[in-house]
Structure 1
Amino acid sequence: MSPTSLPPVPYHASARRPSWPALPAALRDAVAARLGAPVVSARTAGAGFTRGFAAVLSTADGGRAFVKAAPAAEQPHLVEWYAREAAILDRLPAGLPLPRPRWSLHAAGWFVLCTDAVDGHTPRLPWAPAELAATLAGYAEVAAALADPPAALTGLGLPHLADLARDDILWWGEVAAGREPPPALPAPLRDRLPELVALESRLPGYAAGATGLIHGDLRVDNVLVDTAGRAWFCDWTWLCHGPAWFDLAGLLLTAYAGGLDADRLFADHPAVAGAPTDALDVTLAALAGYFLTTAAAAPATASPHLPAHQRWSGEQALDWLAHRRGWSRPRPDGAGRPGA
């Protein structure tokens, strides 16, 4: 079946990053010194929505490493995010499909994080069945390992999804109270605001009971599929306490958009075991409100493609929810519906 909706910019080309030669010479010298050999080539990462430097560096002695870097003066939030990720990567359980950290440093006013390089690619959309299966299997492995997180991780004082939801994710209530401009909605959904508020409001209570940890930002551009077909999970800045089904719902927005039976993919995944019966609807309502309202307020330090990505993601979440709850007519080709 042909896809019913593709993101406005492919995930593997969503970033806008500085090149290796554009970095300060002192920074390049410091990185090369830490790598132990001159850098002979740099392959800039095309995925992501920040303007931070990110590339696979190859050195004269045949080595390869993945390096992220951000300037403290111009992008202090990125420095904070990369430093947080460095601490998290250093404490995640061994053996999981994620890049292992090597080192970090401050040089020339920049913060640098170096990890092992993964020889892989961002999954292309619409999803290839083998890549989607590998990603879902890989996330099942990660979710199982983080269901009972090690003390080294919990000792970092990681945030809780329940608090993050109340502080930054739940926006329909703000719209209903007149504190946030309402996003543009399709005509059949303009009178559904009370139901959207009621659904999203359940998320903090559901998330509060979770004892495990979740990735917190699971999207296609945070996945790499290696040459053996195994899925790897990157960008661990937003690790938090929460239910694994929240990550899964966010990841499957692209499966729904591609006309796959996302309801079945969600229901059949091990991460959903024990979830409330309306967990998917609650998550879709929250994600739709978050993406649609924040699309208009993307920071200048983000990729220029971020607002379009947020709007598209919000539209997919809302469309999926509407079909599940019978709020709108099915698509003409039946795509995205159970059994499609």
Structure 2
Amino acid sequence: MSNPSASPVSYHATAQRPGWAALPAAVRAALSARLGAPVVQARVATAGFTRGFAAVLRTADGGSAFVKAAARAEQPHLVDWYAREAAILTRLPAGLPVPRLRWTLWEAGWYALCLDPVDGHTPRLPWDPTELDATLAGFVDIAAALAEPPTELADLGLPRLADLAREDILWWGEVAAGREAAPPLPAPVAGRLAELVALESKLPGYAAEATGLTHGDLRVDNVLIGADATAWFCDWTWLCHGPAWFDLAGLLITGYAGGLDVDTRFAAHPAAADAPADALDVTLAALAGYHLTAAASPPPTASAQLPAHQRWTGEQALAWLARRQAWT
């Protein structure tokens, strides 16, 4: 158990997105035409850390859809991410708690994808234990379905977590080598750099042993709790070859911050059944280093809330790891 630590970020209001009226007239017209009726209301999504358009659109005939869109000229990375997500969504196994892709559209230099809307909300922090357990139950189905990925998904050439770890996630080694500035560390961890390097360095090897796929970005703002208490899993851009326990650990960091018994939840989850004994500690070390160093240099296209999210997430990962390692 931990002492609850309130997040400085409201995950219901992290996004900075353009409204419907800010889209070019040609794009609005094309979207309305594809939806089959004029758009009469746009409820912009307030969660997330990108600046792309994302909203539930309601049409004059009573229909609704969730639409994400970005301009190639201003946000080429987002266009690439949305196109990748569309390709993944069309190939995910049927029956999962994932919003269904309806269609994609190119118009006036903008790329859009349309999904079924989910009548739900971003999980509240601190976690309601019932909502967290519903999310963990839904992730059982996700992990099981991706343990042996369909051929059409594997043929997409998805990245490997082992490579992503070496290229972008592992930073304690860079800090130890003097190539990256050391982030502020609390007293129990300040003298533990060698241990942090040793732990995070195991991640690529562990990840390389996995034969399945995992979401790759399972954060609280990528989950929606539906009106029937079902958990829905969103934002599939970062699907990768890797172990599901990596995502499980990342999700549970926010549960640790809320004072819940996340150690037991991790150990009991089917996604962790075949995890190495120190997989949780290895993941916490890696994610702590990633978030704390990334907080110092956020991309200019991200929400202004991103650094606070990364700093707090890194701090909670370190606190959880320090307790597990009995670092005092």
TM bin, normalised by shorter chain, reads: over 0.9
- Residue in 1 that maps onto 2:296: 296
Q: For residue 37 of structure 2, what is the amino acid of its counterpart?
A: A
Say if 2:4 and 2:259, in contact at 8 Å, map to a contact too: yes
Which residue number in structure 2 is paired with residue 208 of structure 1?
208
How far the C-alpha of 1:12 sits from its partner, in A, is: 1.1
Secondary structure (helix, strand or coil) at the match of 1:11 reads coil
Note the C-alpha offset of 1:4.
1.8
Q: Distance in 2 between matches of 1:188 and 1:232?
A: 37
| Deviation by residue 1:182-214 (Cα, 9 ceiling, x = unmatched) | 001012211100000000000000000100000
Q: Which segments of 5 or more consecutive residues in structure 2 lack a partner in the other structure?
A: none
Contact 2:91/2:152 (<8 A) preserved: yes
Q: Distance in 1 between matches of 2:281 and 2:198?
A: 11
8 Å CA contact 2:292–2:315 kept in 1: the answer is yes
Counterpart of 2:148 in structure 1 is 148
SS in 2 for 1:54: strand
Q: 241-250 or 100-109: which moved more?
A: 100-109
Query: Number of aligned pairs?
Result: 328
Determine the structure 1 residue equivalent to 2:224.
224
Which residue number in structure 2 is paired with residue 162 of structure 1? 162
Deviation at 1:45, TM superposition (A): 0.5
Q: Deviations over 1:47-68 (max 9, x none)?
A: 1000000000011111110000
Moved over 2 A (4+): none
RMSD between superposed Cα atoms in Å = 1.1
| Cα distance change, pair 322–2 in 1 and its aligned pair in 2 (3 A) | closer
Alignment of 1:1-340 (within 5 A): 4-328=4-328
Give the whole-Å Cα distance in 1 for the aligned partners of 2:3 and 2:321. 18
AA at the equivalent of 1:153: L
Query: TM-score, length-normalised on structure 2?
Result: 0.99
Say if 1:2 and 1:158 are closer, same or farther in 2 by CA, change over 3 A. closer
Distance, in Å, in 2 between the alignment partners of 1:155 and 1:6 is 42
The amino acid across from 1:268 in the alignment is A
Distance 1:81 1:123 in 2: 24
Equivalent position amino acid for 1:251 in 2: L
Listed one character per residue, the Cα deviations across residues 163-194 of structure 1 (whole Å, up to 9, x for unaligned) are: 00000000000000111000010122111000
> Does structure 1 conserve the Cα–Cα contact (< 8 Å) formed by 2:2 and 2:257?
no
The answer on whether the counterparts of 1:3 and 1:126 sit within 8 Å (CA) in structure 2 is no
What is the alpha-carbon distance in structure 2 between the residues aligned to residue 310 and residue 79 of structure 1? 24
Deviations 1:230-269 (A, max 9, x none): 0000000000000010000000011000001111111011
- What is the distance in 1 between the residues matched to 2:201 and 2:224? 33
SS of equivalent to 1:96: coil
The Cα offsets for residues 289-327 of structure 1, whole Å up to 9 and x where unpaired, read as 000001111111000000000000000000000000011
Counterpart AA for 2:79? V
1:112 aligned counterpart, secondary structure: strand
- In the alignment, the residues of structure 1 paired with residue 188 and residue 248 of structure 2 have an alpha-carbon distance, to the nearest angstrom, of 27
Query: Is the Cα–Cα contact under 8 Å of residues 2 and 260 in structure 2 kept in the other structure?
Result: no
Could you tell me which amino acid in structure 2 is paired with residue 277 of structure 1? A
Among all aligned residue pairs of Structure 1 and Structure 2, give the percentage whose two residues are the same amino acid.
Answer: 75
Distance in 2 (alpha carbons) for counterparts of 1:253 and 1:88: 26
Match of 1:331 in 2: none
Q: Which amino acid aligns with 1:45?
A: A
Paired letter, 2:283: T
Runs of at least 5 residues in structure 1 that lack an aligned partner in the other structure:
329-340
1:25, CA displacement in angstroms? 1.0
